[in-house]
């Protein structure tokens, strides 16, 4: 295995572990790089150049506007808006634009934004997964059922790939009370179906910036409870930096801490040297001497990434969304009063086995053979049922038992134990943790782990037993004095 193959394998393995630990579905944050790849869409500068080219009254190239604005692209768009408005009204009788766009209730930017709509609508009309040069990638992407998709793109590529997802555009992302439920596609910069809501000019971005704190507050649940995967963005993207700046104040203790559940995926056009080992994390500058450190994957093809994000789904997103709405009625039924209702969380229902287990039925995953259990190194476990009894919880379920809505704090406690004792609980099968996954990780934790993590979070003395034949272990006092018993 080459250096890069090892790097990619290790990175994707860590991503699968984070997804398993969270007990939830990932959120995909999709940028223009995806439309450039799959639609052959223009980048931002390319879009502005095309808009200039399509307006016969604009005689100067984009360089003129870039020079005049200090390469401020939203401001360039603002200048072109005025050119389009003049052009549209001069050619009013030719029917270049629909009559209703001349209504005074529309902002003057509507003519440029309608032209943007036409550009992307033409591209999407030619899109066909089955004939696309990246067919295998797109089919792997289409197989995914993420909790939600957030995008700053205007086009309808994602609607083609995920037709079951409910689209929420612009202001409705903030106003719609259900927009953070499973199965939604959030288009925070507008959509070609509503060109008036497209965000492209300096005025648009100013308004968006004023409302961004409300958007960030709405998305905070996502960033605390789900793995977030950024696709098709540049690390230097101002939109992403602003959102991460709001989030970093909540989820990052210091700029040196890696935010475990945020992944930034960067695509490289050229082939990657097989002997290279790119970084596995990146520090993203946020301005004002602040930064955030996140997981990072550099790749040339998305296919293996999409396969790593795949979760064996019992049903399509429509069924899961309906289940989320109806689950309250299920747990209120007298026939299931013995259920631990607090653990019945739709976010962690990633396949039929988990659904069955959550509702109190025997699941197919319990048919693990005894030989495999004997090889796990977790002591004398005679059956799969005993194994699941000994390790009954995911990390997200431990968090719920500890009174947290998110797995984040519990994961931080595990990292604290590693920092203070050198014991990495997740690295091996031990009295606190076991990985029962086959093709991908499936981490389970014991009640001993729950007690240990509770002490760490409460800042109490705690003892870690690293080996079963070492009952003394390593003790950390409140003053964080480490000593071997």
Per-residue pLDDT of the chain (485 residues; tens, 9 = 90+): 899 999 999 999 999 988 888 878 999 999 999 999 999 999 999 999 999 999 999 999 999 999 999 999 999 999 999 999 999 999 998 989 999 999 999 999 999 999 999 999 999 999 999 999 999 999 999 999 999 999 999 999 999 999 999 999 988 888 887 887 889 999 999 999 999 999 999 999 999 988 887 888 888 877 778 899 999 998 888 888 888 887 777 666 566 778 888 999 999 988 999 999 999 999 988 888 888 899 999 999 999 999 999 887 544 555 555 545 544 444 444 444 444 443 344 455 555 455 444 443 334 444 444 444 443 445 555 556 677 788 888 888 899 899 987 788 898 899 899 989 999 988 888 899 988 766 566 788 999 999 999 999 999 999 998 876 666 678 887 665 555 55
Which of 418, 481, 427, 406 has its CA nearest to residue 452?
Answer: 418
C-alpha 168: how far from chain center: 17
Tell me which H or E stretch contains 118. helix 110-125
* Domain final residue, candidates 324, 340, 366: 366
Separation in Å, CA 201 to CA 80, 109, 114, 131, 213:
9, 9, 14, 35, 20
In a domain, 91, yes or no: no
In a domain, 117, yes or no: no
* Domain final residue, candidates 309, 327, 357: 309
Is residue 193 domain-shared with residue 338, that is, in the same domain?
no
In a domain, 122, yes or no: no
For the CA atoms of 367, 373, 374, 375, the dihedral, rounded to the nearest 10 degrees, stands at: 130
* Domain final residue, candidates 348, 366, 384: 366
Is residue 445 domain-shared with residue 463, that is, in the same domain?
yes
Is residue 434 domain-shared with residue 460, that is, in the same domain?
yes
Res 364: pLDDT? 40
In a domain, 319, yes or no: yes
Is residue 294 domain-shared with residue 180, that is, in the same domain?
yes
Res 255: pLDDT? 62
Res 350: pLDDT? 52
Which of 311, 296, 307, 309 has its CA nearest to residue 266?
Answer: 296
Which of 245, 175, 227, 271 has its CA nearest to residue 22?
Answer: 227
Res 343: pLDDT? 39
Is residue 236 domain-shared with residue 329, that is, in the same domain?
no
Say if CB 472 and CB 480 are below 8 A apart: no
Is residue 200 domain-shared with residue 233, that is, in the same domain?
yes
Say if CB 29 and CB 231 are below 8 A apart: yes
Which is it for the CA torsion 75, 79, 80, 81, positive or negative?
positive
Is residue 349 domain-shared with residue 272, that is, in the same domain?
no
Largest CA distance in the chain: 90
pLDDT, one tens digit per residue, over 29-75 is 999 999 999 999 999 999 999 999 999 999 999 999 999 999 999 99
Is residue 401 domain-shared with residue 463, that is, in the same domain?
yes
C-alpha 71: how far from chain center: 31
Say if CB 251 and CB 39 are below 8 A apart: no
Res 266: pLDDT? 95
Which is it for the CA torsion 333, 338, 344, 349, positive or negative?
negative
Residues 316-326: b if buried by 16+ CB within 10 A, e if exposed: ebeebbebbee
Is residue 180 domain-shared with residue 217, that is, in the same domain?
yes
- List the Cα angle 383/385/386 in 5-degree steps: 65
Q: CA–CA separation, 88 vs 144, rounded Å?
A: 43
> How many domains would you assign to the chain?
3
Res 20: pLDDT? 82
Is residue 256 domain-shared with residue 358, that is, in the same domain?
no
Is residue 302 domain-shared with residue 256, that is, in the same domain?
yes
The parent domain of residue 416 ranges over 370-485
**Cβ count within 10 A of residue 42:** 18
In a domain, 74, yes or no: no
Res 478: pLDDT? 65
405: Cβ contacts below 8 Å, ≥ 6 apart: 224, 225, 399
Token pair in block for residue 25: 């579905």
Q: CA–CA separation, 485 vs 482, rounded Å?
A: 10
Count how many Cα atoms sit within 13 Å of the Cα of residue 360 in the half-sphere of its side chain. 9
Say if CB 332 and CB 180 are below 8 A apart: no
Say if CB 180 and CB 222 are below 8 A apart: yes
Is residue 338 domain-shared with residue 404, that is, in the same domain?
no
Q: CA–CA separation, 111 vs 116, rounded Å?
A: 9
In a domain, 87, yes or no: no
Res 236: pLDDT? 85
Res 314: pLDDT? 45
C-alpha 379: how far from chain center: 37
Res 485: pLDDT? 52
Say if CB 147 and CB 115 are below 8 A apart: no
In a domain, 77, yes or no: no
Which of 324, 337, 335, 308 has its CA nearest to residue 144?
Answer: 308
- List the Cα angle 127/128/129 in 5-degree steps: 120
In a domain, 53, yes or no: no
């Amino acid at each position: 295995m080459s250096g890069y193959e090892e790097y990619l394998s290790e990175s994707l393995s860590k991503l699968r572990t984070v997804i398993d630990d969270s007990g939830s579905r990932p959120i995909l944050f999709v940028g223009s790089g995806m439309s450039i790849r799959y639609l052959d869409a223009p980048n931002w500068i390319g879009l502005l150049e095309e808009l200039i080219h399509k307006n016969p009254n604009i005689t100067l190239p984009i360089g003129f506007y870039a020079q005049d604005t200090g390469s401020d692209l939203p401001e360039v768009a603002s200048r072109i808006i005025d050119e389009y408005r003049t052009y549209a009204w001069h050619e009013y009788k030719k029917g270049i634009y629909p009559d209703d766009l001349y209504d005074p209730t529309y902002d003057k930017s509507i003519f440029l934004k309608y032209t943007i709509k036409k550009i992307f609508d033409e591209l999407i009309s030619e899109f066909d997964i089955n004939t696309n040069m990246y067919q295998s990638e797109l089919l792997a992407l289409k197989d995914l059922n993420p909790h939600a998709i957030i995008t700053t793109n205007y086009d309808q590529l994602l609607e083609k790939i995920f037709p079951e997802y409910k689209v929420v555009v612009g202001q409705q992302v903030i106003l719609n009370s259900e927009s953070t439920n499973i199965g939604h596609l959030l288009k925070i910069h507008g959509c070609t179906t509503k060109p008036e809501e497209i965000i492209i000019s300096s005025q648009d971005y100013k308004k968006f910036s004023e409302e961004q704190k409300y958007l960030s507050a709405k998305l905070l649940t996502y960033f605390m409870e789900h793995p977030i995967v950024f696709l098709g963005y540049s690390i230097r993207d101002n939109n992403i930096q602003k959102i991460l700046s709001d989030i970093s104040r909540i989820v990052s203790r210091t700029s040196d801490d890696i935010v475990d559940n945020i992944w930034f995926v960067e695509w490289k056009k050229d082939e990657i040297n097989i002997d290279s080992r790119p970084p596995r994390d990146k520090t993203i500058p946020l301005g004002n001497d602040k930064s955030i450190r996140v997981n990072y994957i550099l790749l040339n093809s998305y296919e293996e990434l999409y396969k790593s994000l795949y979760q064996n789904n019992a049903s399509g997103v429509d069924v899961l969304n309906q289940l989320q709405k109806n689950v309250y009625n299920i747990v209120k039924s007298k026939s299931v009063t013995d259920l631990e209702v607090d653990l019945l969380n739709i976010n962690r229902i990633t396949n039929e086995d988990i659904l069955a287990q959550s509702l109190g039925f025997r699941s197919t995953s319990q048919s693990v053979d005894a030989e495999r259990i004997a090889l796990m190194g977790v002591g004398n476990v005679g059956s799969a049922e005993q194994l699941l009894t000994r390790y009954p919880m995911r990390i997200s379920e431990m968090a719920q038992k500890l009174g947290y809505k998110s797995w984040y704090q519990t994961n931080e406690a595990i990292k604290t134990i590693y920092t203070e004792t050198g014991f990495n609980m997740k690295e091996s099968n031990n009295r606190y943790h076991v990985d029962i996954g086959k093709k991908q990780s499936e981490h389970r934790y014991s009640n001993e782990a729950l007690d240990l993590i509770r002490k760490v979070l409460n800042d109490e003395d705690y003892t870690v037993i690293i080996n079963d034949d070492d009952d003394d272990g390593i003790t950390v006092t409140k003053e964080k004095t480490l000593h071997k018993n």
